[in-house]
Amino acid sequence: MGWNSAKRLFDLVVSGVGLLASLPLWGVIAVAVKLEDGGPIFFRDLRVGQGGELFTALKFRTMVRNADSLFGPRQATEDDPRVTRVGRLLRVTAMDELPQLWNIFRGEMSFVGPRALRPGEIESRSSRFNVRGSTCGVRGTGTEAVMLLEQIPGYWQRHVVRPGLTGIAQIFADRDIPSRQKFRYDLLYIRRRSFWLDVRLVALSFWVTFRGRWEVRGTKF
Beta bridge partners of 53: none
Three-state SS annotation for 108-160: CCEEECCCCCCCCCEEEEECCCCCCCCCCCEECCCCEEEEEHHHCCCCHHHHH
Is there a contact between 131 and 139 (Cβ–Cβ < 8 Å)? yes
Residue 12 lies in a domain: yes
Is the pLDDT score of 67 beyond 80?
no
For residue 76, the model assigns a pLDDT of: 62
Q: Is residue 219 part of a domain?
A: no
* pTM across the whole model: 0.84
Read off the pLDDT band of 121 (50, 70, 90). confident
Whole-number Å distance between alpha carbons of 123 and 53: 21
Convert the pLDDT of each residue in 6-58 to its tens digit.
Answer: 899 999 999 999 999 999 999 999 999 999 989 999 999 999 999 999 999 99
Q: Is 54 contained in some domain?
A: yes
User: For helices 23-37 and 85-93, what crossing angle results, to 10°?
Assistant: 150
Q: Is residue 221 assigned to a domain? A: no
H or E element at residue 55:
strand 54-60
Q: How many separate domains does the chain show? A: 1
Domain that holds residue 61: 3-211
Residue 218 within a domain: no
Tell me, what's the pLDDT at 72?
57
* 76 lies in some domain: yes
